[in-house]
Amino acid sequence: MSDAFAIANMLTGARPRAMAALLRYFRDLDLAEEAYQEACLRAVHNWPRKGPPRDPVGWLVFVGRNAAVDGLRRQTRHVALPAEDVLSDIEDHEAAVVEQMDEADYRDDILRLMFICAHPDLVAAQQVALALRIVSGLSVAEIAAAFLAKEKTIEQRITRAKRKVMAANIPFEAPDAIERAKRLSAVAAMIYLIFNEGYSASGGESHIRKSLCDEAIRLGRLLLRLFPSDPEIMGLLALMLLTHARMPARLDAAGGIILLEDQDRSLWHTGLITEGIALVEKAARHRAAGFYQLQAAIAALHASAKRAEDTDWRGIALLYERLEAVQPSPVVRLNRAVAVFKANDAETALMLLEPVEDELARYFYSHGVRGALLQELGQKDAAREAFNRAIALARTPAEARHIRERLDGLEAMAKKRKRPVSAE
Amino acid sequence: MLYAVLCYHDEAEVESWSAEQDQAVVAKRGAVAKDRLRPEQMGPVLRLVPTTGATTIRSSASGELVLDGPFAETKEQLLGLYVVECDALEEAIELAREMKRGEGGAFEVRPLRVFRQGMLPSDKEIG
**Crossing angle, helix A207-226 and helix A103-117, to 10 degrees?**
140
Q: Which residues of A touch B28 (CB under 8 A)?
A: 1
Which residues in chain A are closer than 8 Å to B25, comparing Cβ atoms? 1
Residue of A nearest to B55 (CA): A282
Average pLDDT (A218-229) is: 91
- For A122-142, what is the mean pLDDT? 91
Query: What is the model's pLDDT at position A366?
Result: 92
In sequence order, the β-bridge partners of residue B56 are B67, B108
pLDDT at A422 over 50: no
- Low-confidence winner among A282-296, A380-394, B109-123 (lowest mean pLDDT): B109-123
CA-based nearest distance B1→chain A, Å: 30
- The phi and psi torsions of B125 (rounded to 5 degrees) equal -105, 135
Residue A80 CA, distance from chain mean position: 45
Distance from CA of A30 to the nearest CA of B (A): 24
Mean pLDDT of B8-21: 85
H or E stretch at B111: none
Q: Which residues of B touch A135 (CB under 8 A)?
A: none
Residues B120/B42, Cβ–Cβ less than 8 Å: yes
In angstroms and rounded to an integer, the radius of gyration of the C-alpha atoms of chain A is 26
Higher pLDDT, A320 or B3: A320
pLDDT band at A133 (very low <50, low <70, confident <90, very high): very high
* CB contacts, 8 Å: B97 with chain A: none
SS3 B37: coil
- Per-residue confidence (pLDDT) for residue A91, from 0 to 100: 52
Indicate whether A76 pLDDT > 80.
Answer: no
Counting DSSP H helices and E strands in chain A, the numbers are 20, 0
Q: Which contiguous run of DSSP H or E holds residue A150?
A: none
How far is Cα of residue A338 from the mean position of the Cα atoms in its chain? 25
| A350 reaches B (C-beta below 8 A) | no
Across A75-89, A162-176, A375-389, B57-71, the highest mean pLDDT is recorded for: A375-389
- Pair A62, A107: CB distance under 8 Å: no
Region of A262 on the Ramachandran plot (φ > 0 left; ψ -120 to 50 alpha; else beta): alpha
Q: How far is A182 from chain B (nearest CA, A)?
A: 21
Q: Does A225 touch chain B (CB under 8 A)?
A: yes
Q: A218 in helix, strand or coil?
A: helix
Q: CA-to-CA distance for A191 and A219, rounded, in angstroms?
A: 7
C-alpha A393/C-alpha A259 separation (Å) is 19
Interface confidence: ipTM more than 0.95: no
- Domain coordinates of chain B in residue numbers? 2-111
Cβ pairs bridging A and B (under 8 Å): 71
Strand partners, B63: B60
Q: Is A12's Cβ below 8 Å from some Cβ in B?
A: yes
Q: Which of A218-222, A286-290, A408-412, B120-124 has the lowest mean pLDDT?
A: B120-124
Alpha carbon distances (Å) from B102 to B58, B79, B89, B97, B106: 11, 17, 22, 10, 11
Contact B52 A234 (CB under 8 A): yes
Length of chain B: 127
Closest in B18, B50, B88 to A221, CB measured: B50
| A2 conformational bin, left if phi > 0, alpha if psi -120 to 50, beta if neither | beta
Q: Are A19 and A36 in contact (CB under 8 A)?
A: yes
Residue of A346 and B124 predicted with greater confidence = A346
Amino acid at site B81? L
Predicted confidence (pLDDT) per residue in A246-303, tens digit: 999 988 888 777 889 999 999 999 999 999 999 999 999 999 999 999 999 999 999 9
Render pLDDT for A388-417 as a digit per residue (tens, 0 to 9).
999 998 877 878 888 888 888 888 776 665
Closest residue in chain B to residue A279, using alpha carbons only: B53
Selection from A275, A285, A272, A290 nearest residue A233 by Cα: A290
User: Is B12 close to A224, i.e. CB distance below 8 A?
Assistant: no
Q: Is 70 exceeded by the pLDDT of residue A100?
A: no
A229 — contact with chain B (CB < 8 Å)? yes
The answer to whether the CB of A61 falls within 8 A of the CB of A97 is yes
Q: Are strands B63-68 and B106-109 parallel, antiparallel or unpaired?
A: unpaired
C-alpha dihedral, A306 to A310 to A311 to A314, nearest 10°: -150
Selected residue with higher pLDDT from A191 and A97: A191
Q: How far is A229 from chain B (nearest CA, A)?
A: 5
Best of B52, B73, B74 to disrupt the A interface (most A CBs within 10 Å) is B52
Q: Alpha carbon of A288 to those of A291, A337, A363: distances in Å?
A: 10, 24, 31
* pLDDT tens digits, A345-356: 999 999 999 999
Q: What angle do CA A183, A185, A190 make, to 5 degrees?
A: 95
Which run of H or E residues covers position B48?
strand B45-48
B28 Cα to chain A: minimum distance (Å): 9
Beta bridge partners of B67: B56
pTM of the model: 0.85
3-state secondary structure of A345: coil
How do beta strands B55-60 and B106-109 pair?
antiparallel
Superfamily in which the B2-111 domain is placed by CATH: Dimeric alpha+beta barrel (3.30.70.1060)
Residues of chain A with Cβ-Cβ distance to B12 below 8 Å are 13-14, 17, 222, 225
The reported pLDDT for the residue numbered A175 is 78
Task: Return the biggest CA–CA distance within chain B.
Answer: 52
Instruction: Examine the pLDDT at A315 and tell me if it is beyond 70.
Output: yes
Exposed e or buried b per residue across A70-99, where buried means at least 16 C-beta atoms within 10 angstroms of its C-beta: beeeeeeeeeeeeeeeebbebeeebeebbe
Domains of chain A and any CATH numbers: 1-77 (1.10.1740), 361-415 (no CATH)
pLDDT digits (tens, 9 = 90+) for A17-61: 999 999 988 988 999 999 999 999 999 999 988 888 888 888 999
Partner residue opposite B68 with nearest CB, options A5, A221, A282: A282
With 0-12 CB in 10 A as exposed, 13-18 as middle and 19+ as buried, what is A239?
A: buried
Q: Tell me the residues of B at the A interface, defined by beta carbons under 8 Å apart.
A: 10-18, 21, 24-25, 28, 47, 49-53, 55, 66-69, 88-90, 111-114
Averaged pLDDT, A129-144: 91
Q: Residue A302 carries which DSSP code?
A: H
